[in-house]
Structure 1
Amino acid sequence: MAKWLPEWLRLALKVGLKCAFIGLVILLLVASYYYSKAQKYDLSKVAEEQQQNTLLDHNGAPLLGNDSKESLLITYDQLPQHLVDALIAREDTNFEHHCGVDFKGLIRATLRNAKDMSFTQGASTLTMQLARNTYDIRAKSLNRKFLEIALTLRIESSYSKNEIMAYYLNRIYFGSGCYGIEQASRKYFKKSVTDLTLSESATLVGIIRGPHIFSPLNDLAAAQNQRNQVIDRMLTIGKLTTEQASAVKNSPLVLPQKITLTKKPLEAANPYALKALDRHLNEILAQKDIRAAGLTITSALDLKKLHQCENDIKKLLIEAKQPQLQAACIIIDHKTGAIRALVGGRDYKALQFNIALDGKLDLGDAFTPFIYAAALERGKLPIKGNPSQTGKQLDPAETQRIAKRFGFNSPFNLPEIHYGSGTCSPLELATAFSTIANNGKRPHTFFVEHITKADGSELFKNTAQSTPAIQEGTALETAKLLKYKDGIAYTTAAFSGRSLWSAASKDSLTAVIWVGFQQPAPVPNKNSLLKKMQSLTYHWVASEK
């Protein structure tokens, strides 16, 4: 080292060179270790098709019947150019130029993480995301990041950029149970990926960063906002003109209203039940941040009960000879809260709105059993057959508080609450009626029993839960007033026959049927219909075995 240099500078240089050498040795050792570790992973897995989820009923029968198991893999040549541009713009602007790792972005993210004292920034390229999703590398740690980089470099050295793009889109999770771009395209837009518009492509790309919260089935406004952000990025990097970007951003995001099952097998569940199950499943996947493919989802639904209800409701409506008449029904296991069957309306093609879950239907005299229960709970005399006189003994506000404990969520017109001045869905009435049959405990209803991964490990299990609503003695005394054959039942017409209701419970099942018009009007031949409805609800709960 030059003698003319000051002693302190020569010392500093020596120390610096030694540190640099030690750092280089450590770097080579770390690189060798993770290179060796990455060699143990089967690289062919990145090109494999994601396993589709399996939906089963409570007894293990397939809910989708003979659903097609056709391949949903796509090749790069099938991708619209605007989809490729949207993905690069949003997720990895330098995708076509880097070696799989954006080292500038990685250094920037590392410095930010050091400042925040947490892993807030990732700087993941498409290839790094592909590696992470292929081998399910989830833990946020330096070990995970080094392994991810080593696997990324292996993938980049083995596959072309076009192949990596296609493999990525075949594997990434797009929310609502969709794994891969083709499955997502069919679910959200009812078309193949080759037919996607610019708006639809940008929407799908927008989902990637938050597959649960940005799914258009969960939040259409959020999905549209993400679509517009993708369009802005495409404009910024020169992939769109201002006119093209404005045209998309000024257009509303609309999902096609079609039945998911284009060819419904006879043994498949009805679309109302499948959509309801899908809704609950998506909530669980979001809450638990479950993104694994090849899941087995065991639902609470009973396929045999589903078909029994569907066939009986069709027959009931045919015999009513009223083409505009609607009907909905639901069966729940009041011991566990499991929803065993559901029919949400007369015809899903004509009406996608699920009356069984979301209807706001006139309650009227169907509130009578709960007037009896409120009177007994407060030490008053229930006058059988006279809910008005029974209700006049009670404070309306107190009656409403008890009604909420039963699960009625809509507000009542308090001065007339004992006339059933509120509205409810068949699910709400079934839950409330179940509370009487379940010794005063209101069951927490659910559609999904448990979820397991492809390797058999359990990701989620729903256990029976209930909330005390009324005293057990109150429930038993109320049940005596509702006794019907070997169970309990109540059937009535609300407000001059605008809503026909029938509820029945026996053993562990509770069933409810509602019949009426979309635009409230008196139902013709209501007495005949009520008899048939009472017979059906009791038959459903009595034929449990």
Structure 2
Amino acid sequence: MGKIRITIKRVLLGMVIFVFCVCFGAGIGILAGALSTAPSLDDVVFDQNKTTYIYDINGEVIARLYRENRIPVSLDEIPLDLQKAVIAIEDDHFYEHNGINFKAILRAIYVDLREGRKAQGGSTITMQLARNAFLTLEKHWSRKLNELIWTIQIERKFTKDEILETYLNEIYMGHSAYGMEAAAQVYFGKHVQDLTLAESALLAGIIQIPGVHSPYLSMENALKRRAVVLNRMVELNMITPEQAEQAKAEEIKLAGLKPRVSKAPYFVDYILQYLLDKYGEEQVYGGGLKVYTTLDLSMQQMAEEAFLANLPEKQIEGLDVVQPQGAIITIEPATGHIKAMVGGRGTDKFNRAVQAKRQPGSAMKPFIYVAAIDRGITPATIIDDAPVEYHLPNGDIWRPENYNREFRGPVTLRAAVEDSLNVPAVKLLDQVGVRTVIEYAKKMGITTLVERGTKNDVNLALALGGLTQGVTPMEMASAYGILANQGIWVEPHAIIRVTDSKGHVLEEYLPERKIVLNEATAYVVTDMLRGVIERGTATVANIGRPAAGKTGTADDFTNAWFIGYTPDLVTAVYIGIDRQSEQMIFDGVRWGSYQAARIWGNYMRKVVAGTPIKNFERPKNIQNATICAESGQLATENCTKVRSEIFITGTEPKEYCTLHTYQPNRGWNFFGTNPTANPGFWFFGN
């Protein structure tokens, strides 16, 4: 009998040992497997999503790009009161345990069983940090095991201060804010280092359940939770009862939730596409890039104000956004920096400054003037503003007209430019050659001209801006900027430099530069375009200092332009209705280039206010001559309309005015008032 009992005991003991060995072996196997598959701490715990910042030219933040709004700071920047408050309410034995507080876990289990629900947590700060590092929140034993493994690893690898710093930068604080710096800005509009004890306690209280304790959702809940935090800090001798009472009495002043929009939405969208293409979504929205741009935020705000203040509002059936729409873009010609960009008004994503191809009207004429001046024609050249017919390939006859349907007879090129006369522009284009002018436009950066196919731009309608596709405000601004920059084209760009989150330069943009025009040609055309503002069709754009520009109105008042420039800045203003067949008629008034020029003037006056007055740099091979404004020749004492005119050296007139010369036996004014009768004039007639 005794032997049987001994045998049974041995069998039972063997079974226990066997089960223990199996369980122990399985546990070791599971633990080994978990350790082998657990991601690296460096890759996960400290791989926090970081906010990407976009800055203007002066270092002011334009926009923040993030999935998680996170602004990492060092522990030294986080107030001691906030550190204590978090430890008091989340893990009061943080500096004593090795990552797992077994007493707290047992206490939490006891309370949960007593309450019949989950009423208290037992997770330490280290355990919370480990949990947040997982990519999944699935409730599975393997996840819990990994959580414990990581907790132990974190405690072994990092100091307590490093763990606390990471936690305070990692924890979710509600309203898309992650970490204490982002939370301080979202809730109080200040940096974390400037928080008071009362504010610190309130933030610490949010951690447990942001959806319940956020003061934006319930101030009552937030204040109750703050009191709990402060009382716990008193119990732990972190603060005195008097300090707690003072903090409880402090009024909470919230910053107010701000919509997640940038200060220059069209500009930000413009560069965002480039960033996504080059760096990818993960880096742009989580890599903490710092993007330094060319935008001048103060100039941007002036552009937006001028644009919105001068446009009526009309809802047109079939169009989702208010009309008219339009664009403003400002570029610094010497650097290519885009200083301001308004792509429309409203919330649509169509950036009219860059994407809209619109008919430019007379704003296309400067390309003709450039080609003509380059070929020896001068501002004093006489062109006959008289009726003319052109026989088109399809058999039709085209008779171009001026905007007022009147003709002025012989005029100088300068006068034709200032008053935007159509007939002289068409005749000049015909004389210089359509393909020649197209080549100049392409050389100056216009990419949308059509040269092939049944419908193309190789025709005289080019003089009036009647194009197959149209042009964009950005390309027109860049092209006019060449005139301001002594004939040098600099590639327009929006980004100066991009760095990673540690400050390492990822790219530094060096724009392409090339000479595309003779500087003397650029100066002469600029001087004629100054007259447009000072005496011509755009006096409303006069800003009281040297500036040049050109108006443009498409047929039937569907599009209106003004592109103007100072020596330092070029700005294109475009107005139009998104449905291109729709005329701009508001309160019975047709809108055209006058309104575009007015917006330009209102905007640029603010931009240049308080800056030194600067003139366009005059090349050495420019000289003046006093001419007769009626004949374009050197003036005599008998000429009644005399002016000083500029010429590229070698193109100045050599003969004195024959229109106002006394001829023996024939008297004065032999040629009458029509200089076209003089075969010596350089003249473009029918």
Q: Distance in 2 between the 1:372 and 1:544 partners?
A: 33
SS at match of 1:63: strand
1:314–1:346: 8 Å Cα contact kept in structure 2?
yes
What secondary structure, in the 3-state scheme, does the structure 1 residue paired with 2:575 have?
A: strand
Q: Indicate how the Cα distance of structure 1 residues 479 and 53 shifts in structure 2: closer, same or farther if over 3 A, else same.
A: same
Contact kept in structure 1, 2:56 and 2:297, CA below 8 Å: yes
Q: How many aligned positions are there? A: 333
Show the counterpart of 1:338.
Answer: 337
1:342 Cα offset (Å): 0.7
Report if the CA contact (8 A) 1:500-1:516 is conserved: yes
Q: Which residue of 2 aligns with 1:46?
A: 44
Q: Residues 157 and 530 of structure 1: is their aligned pair in 2 closer, same or farther, counting only changes over 3 Å?
A: closer
Aligned to 1:533: 599
- Equivalent residue in structure 2 for 1:282, among 263, 276, 288: 276
Q: Structure 2: which amino acid aligns with 1:430?
A: A
> SS of 1:475's equivalent?
helix
Cα displacement (A) at 1:282: 3.2
Decide whether aligned partners of structure 1 residues 342 and 304 sit closer, same or farther in structure 2, where only a CA change above 3 A counts.
same
Where does residue 317 of structure 1 map in the other structure?
311
The amino acid across from 1:373 in the alignment is V
1:437 to 471, 474, 484: 484
Q: What residue is the counterpart of 2:426 in the other structure?
A: 388
Measure how far apart 1:496 and its partner are: 3.1
| Counterpart-to-counterpart distance in 2, 1:478 and 1:52 | 48
CA distance in 1, matches of 2:493, 2:53: 18
Q: Distance in 1 between matches of 2:509 and 2:608?
A: 25
For 1:394, give the aligned amino acid: V
Using the TM superposition, give the Cα deviation of residue 320 of structure 1 relative to its aligned residue in structure 2, in angstroms.
8.5
Contact 1:277 1:448 (8 Å CA) reproduced: yes
* Deviation of the 1:506 alpha carbon: 1.2
The CA distance in 2 between the partners of 1:427 and 1:515, in whole Å, is 14
Give the secondary-structure state (helix, strand or coil) at the position aligned to 1:379: coil
Using the TM superposition, give the Cα deviation of residue 380 of structure 1 relative to its aligned residue in structure 2, in angstroms: 3.2
SS at match of 1:492: strand
Equivalences for 1:76-475 in 2 at 5 Å? 79=136, 263-264=258-259, 268-285=262-279, 293-318=287-312, 323-348=322-347, 351-381=348-378, 383-384=413-414, 385=416, 386-412=424-450, 413-415=457-459, 416-422=461-467, 423-475=470-522
* AA of the residue aligned to 2:361: G
Distance 1:530 1:446, change over 3 A: closer
- Provide the secondary structure at the position in 2 that maps to 1:353: coil
Moved more, 455-464 or 427-436: 455-464
Aligned partners of 1:355, 1:531: CA distance in 2, in Å?
Answer: 18
3-state SS in 2 of match to 1:391: helix
**Counterpart-to-counterpart distance in 2, 1:414 and 1:66:** 46
- Structure 1 position 75, deviation (Å): 4.8
Alignment CA distance shift 1:531-1:418 (3 Å): closer
**Alpha-carbon spacing, 1:327–1:290, altered in 2? closer, same or farther (3 Å):** closer
Contact 2:66 2:285 in 1 (8 A): no
Is there any run of 5+ residues in structure 2 with no aligned partner, and where?
1-39, 72-128, 143-148, 155-169, 177-256, 317-321, 380-412, 417-423, 451-456, 534-544, 612-686
Q: TM-score, normalised by structure 2?
A: 0.43
User: Computing the radius of gyration over CA atoms, which structure comes out larger, 1 or 2?
Assistant: 2
1:478 matched residue in structure 2: 525
C-alpha displacement of 1:529: 1.7
1:510 and 1:541 in contact (8 A); partners too: no
State the secondary structure of the residue aligned to 1:456: coil
Q: Residues of 2 paired with 1:155 and 1:79: CA distance?
A: 15
- Matched to 2:572, the amino acid is V
Give the Cα separation in 2 of the matches to 1:341 and 1:438: 18
Give the TM-score normalised by structure 1. Answer: 0.54
Instruction: State the AA in 1 paired with 2:275.
Output: L
**Which amino acid is 1:387 matched to?**
A
1:515 and 1:463 map into 2 onto residues whose CA distance is 32
- Evaluate the alpha carbon distance shift between residue 62 and residue 76 of structure 1 in structure 2; reply closer, same or farther with a 3 A threshold: closer
Kept in 1, the 8 Å contact 2:574–2:596? The answer is no
Offset, 1:69 = 6.5
Q: How far apart are residue 544 of structure 1 and its match?
A: 8.2
The letter of the residue matching 1:504 is G
Question: Match of 1:399, SS?
Answer: helix
Cα deviation, residue 408, structure 1: 0.8
Deviations 1:163-219 (A, max 9, x none): xxxxxxxxxxxxxxxxx9x9xxx9xxxxxxxxxxxxxxxxxxxxxxxxxxxxxxxxx
CA distance in 1, matches of 2:332, 2:311: 25
Q: Which sections of structure 1, spanning at least 5 residues, go unmatched?
A: 1-41, 82-95, 97-153, 160-179, 187-261
Q: Which amino acid aligns with 1:439?
A: Q
* Cα deviation, residue 340, structure 1: 1.1
Determine if contact 2:50/2:286 at 8 Å carries over to the other structure. no
Between the aligned partners of 2:50 and 2:66, the Cα distance in structure 1 is: 14
Letter in 2 for 1:522: Q
The equivalent residue for 2:584 is 523
Partners of 2:477 and 2:572 within 8 A in 1: yes
User: Residues of 1 paired with 2:277 and 2:522: CA distance?
Assistant: 32
Shift of 1:280: 2.9
Please tell me whether the aligned partners of residues 335 and 464 of structure 1 are also in contact (alpha carbons under 8 angstroms): no
CA–CA separation in structure 2 for the residues paired with 1:50 and 1:67 = 8
Q: Which residue in 2 is equivalent to 1:542?
A: 608
- Aligned residue for 1:361, secondary structure, equals coil
Against the structure 1 CA distance between its residues 157 and 534, is the aligned structure 2 distance closer, same or farther, given a 3 Å change threshold?
closer
Give the CA deviation at 1:389.
Answer: 2.3
Instruction: Give how far 1:542 is off.
Output: 2.7
**Letter of the aligned partner of 2:479 in structure 1?**
A
Report the Cα offset of residue 538 of structure 1.
3.5
| C-alpha spacing 1:540/1:446, structure 2 compared with 1 (3 Å) | farther
1:325, 1:515 within 8 Å by CA — same for their partners in 2?
yes
Contact 1:301 1:339 in 2 (8 A): yes
Mapped partners of 2:153, 2:327: distance in 1:
56
Mapped contact 1:364–1:420 kept (Cα < 8 A): yes
The 3-state SS of whatever aligns with 1:362 is coil
Are the counterparts in 1 of residues 466 and 554 from structure 2 also a CA contact under 8 Å? Answer: no
Q: Which amino acid aligns with 2:325?
A: Q
Q: Which moved more, 1:337-346 or 1:322-331?
A: 322-331
Could you say if the C-alpha distance between residues 68 and 264 of structure 1 is closer, same or farther in structure 2, counting changes exceeding 3 Å? Answer: farther
Quote the Cα distance in structure 1 between the aligned partners of 2:308 and 2:353. 15
CA deviations over 1:359-393 (Å, ceiling 9, x no partner)? 11012211011211111123334623232222121
**Does the residue aligned with 2:474 lie in a helix, a strand or coil?**
helix
Tell me, in whole angstroms, the C-alpha distance in 2 between the residues paired with 1:75 and 1:156: 11
Which deviates further from its counterpart, 460-469 or 530-539?
Answer: 530-539
What is the CA-CA distance between 1:76 and the residue it aligns to? Answer: 8.0
Q: Which amino acid aligns with 2:548?
A: I
Contact map agreement 1:513 1:537 (CA 8 A) in 2: no
CA deviations 1:430-462 (Å, max 9, x no partner) are: 011111111111220111111123333322112
Identity percentage over the alignment? Answer: 22
Q: Contact 1:336/1:463 (CA < 8 Å) preserved in 2?
A: no
Task: Name the structure 2 match of 1:488.
Answer: 548
- Contact 2:369-2:525 at 8 Å conserved across structures: yes
